[in-house]
Structure 1
Amino acid sequence: MAAHDGPLLSVRDLTKRYGQRIGCDDISFDVWPGEVLAIVGESGSGKTTLLNCISTRLPATSGTVTYQMRDGQPRNLFEMEEAERRHLLRTDWGFVHQNPADGLRMTVSAGANVGERLMAVGNRHYGQIRETATDWLSRVEIMAERIDDQPRAFSGGMRQRLQIARNLVTAPRLVFMDEPTGGLDVSVQARLLDLLRGLVADLGLAVIIVTHDLAVARLLSDRIMVMKDGHVIETGLTDRVLDDPQAPYTQLLVSSILQV
């Protein structure tokens, strides 16, 4: 892998409009290799729209998103061919959905869900694929004997852990996460967050995580970006923003959590 001095991802003047309605407006930021950026805000703040534009799942109205490819060359994602973007999503990127059913094939086995990603990067040896899949299931705390079970036989927490294994098995450099703990019981959330924190640190992943939960942002992220009505209200190191928020909206968000 080539060494890079610059950011892994650069977003400049990104705007998404739905007619007259603003999804996100004039947003710029960088994400560096190994950095975890949390995008936080209440429902409707534009954070998921922004995530979907950055990951090319949604076309932007204007702006650029530049990604540093493995060969060291920066590429404007919006100028890439669709096939190139799909290849990135299957190999160098991961995308962890809030609902794991959106990120898994529910009618094939757990092992096949992980193995598909390996095949996308050129693995063809069945035994090696199964061995790697088994190893990754154990890393996300799924017993090896469940490798041939379909995800629909799994609990919500197990499905989410399987989705994480499917995304991380190809050693991506950038992972997008959309409310990865949403809809899970508190105890399951805690275990999943602990698992995620360990994997992100071990693998040196760059992560952009969207969450409305400031506790999730504090636990996982290095830097935080607060959004409201499609605009970035405040950004900075996570502990600084949460411990000493400057913008009135951020102060309100933080105080509302403290009062719960």
Structure 2
Amino acid sequence: MSTPLMEARGLQLRFGRVAALDDVAIDIHPGEVVAIVGESGSGKTTLLRVLSGLMRPDAGAVTYRGEDVLAMPEAARRRLMRTEWGFVHQNPRDGLRLGVTAGGNIGERLMAVGARHYGNIRAEATEWLKRVEIDPARMDDIPGKFSGGMQQRLQIARVLVTRPKLVFMDEPTGGLDVSVQARLLDLIRALVADLGLAVLIVTHDIAAARLLAHRILVMRQGQVVEEGLTDRVLDDPQHAYTQLLVSSVLAA
């Protein structure tokens, strides 16, 4: 297997008496989609925030392409997030500039990596609106005029336009209608495959994890209780908690 793009070992983080992360380790390889699943409060979103540099652990190590993420200056981490990383928030309003047009939201990300030619930026924004199934005629509309599903697709376009190597996704289909969720998952799967992205996705949706992920980590009370290839974990769960998660989905 290829050298991991990102590695983390021994991650510890406590909030008072609660262990949000308890000796967590994870590898993410180029082009791989890894899903983190678990109930609310399991530590999955905390892990995502630590790995993406938004939160510091009490102990442990995170490396990206051999570099110590936790030792990086804040400016270097911000530069990574603009270029080689991307973050798709559960609420698209957290990932969009609401006072900026749809095309401007995409164009800003391109300008952050050095694009300056207005015509080229607008052409690229047009192409990406098409890719995420938004009518390019809406380019000059602000995100507030879009539905929740359209806002999420616009956020994805904004993040992926610079073709990052690693994308963090926090419950990207949360809060959307079931039919909108299904379309969005199909779109994410197609874009990830087309661009060869590495993705770390947090979700409580076992069906979404099965559709998108090559590997899966199951978290409970700050610990990874089971991990492995997605089909293996979901079809033949070994840990009692994973068995409970899978059986609750089948019973639903």
TM beyond 0.5: yes
Which residue of the other structure, out of 46, 50, 54, is the alignment partner of 1:53? Answer: 50
CA contact (8 A) 2:166 2:197 kept: yes
1:188 aligns to what?
180
Give 3-state SS (helix, strand or coil) of 1:207's partner: strand
**Distance in 1 (alpha carbons) for counterparts of 2:52 and 2:181:** 25
5+ residue gaps, structure 2: none
* 1:24-39 equivalence runs, <5 A: 24-39=21-36
Q: Cα offset for 1:19?
A: 2.5
3-state SS in 2 of match to 1:118: helix
Secondary structure at 1:52 match in 2: helix
Q: Which runs of 4+ in 1 moved over 6 A?
A: none
**Partner of residue 128, structure 2:** 136
Secondary structure (helix, strand or coil) at the match of 1:78 reads coil
Match of 1:161 in 2: 153
Task: Provide the rounded CA distance (Å) in 2 between the counterparts of 1:34 and 1:5.
Answer: 10
Q: For the structure 1 residues 45 and 203, does the alpha-carbon distance in structure 2 shift closer, same or farther, using more than 3 Å as the test?
A: same
Q: Distance in 2 between matches of 1:116 and 1:169?
A: 10
Q: Does residue 200 in structure 1 map to residue 200 in structure 2?
A: no
**What amino acid sits opposite 1:140 in the alignment?**
V
The number of residues matched between the two structures is 252
- CA distance in 2 between partners of 1:79 and 1:173 (Å): 20
- The code of the aligned residue for 2:117 comes to H
Matched, 1:244 2:236: yes
Label 1:221 to 1:5 Cα distance change in 2 as closer, same or farther (>3 A).
Answer: closer
How big is the shift at 1:20?
A: 2.2
Deviation at 1:18, TM superposition (A): 1.5
Identical residues among aligned pairs (%): 66
Query: Amino acid of the residue matched to residue 29 of structure 2?
Result: W
- Residue matched to 1:71: none
1:215 aligns with 2:207: yes
TM normalised by structure 2 equals 0.99
Once the two structures are superposed, the pairs formed by residues 162-181 of structure 1 within 5 Å of their partners are 162-181=154-173
User: Quick check: 2:2–2:30 contact (8 Å CA) kept in 1?
Assistant: no
Task: Give the gaps of 5 or more residues in structure 1.
Answer: 69-73
Match of 2:111 in 1: 119
Give the RMSD, CA atoms, in angstroms: 0.9
Quick one: distance in 2 between partners of 1:119 and 1:62? 36
Distance in 2 between residues matched to 1:16 and 1:136, nearest whole Å:
38
2: CA distance, partners of 1:147 / 1:91: 23
Q: Tell me, what secondary structure is at the counterpart of 2:218?
A: strand
- Distance in 1 separating the partners of 2:61 and 2:101: 38
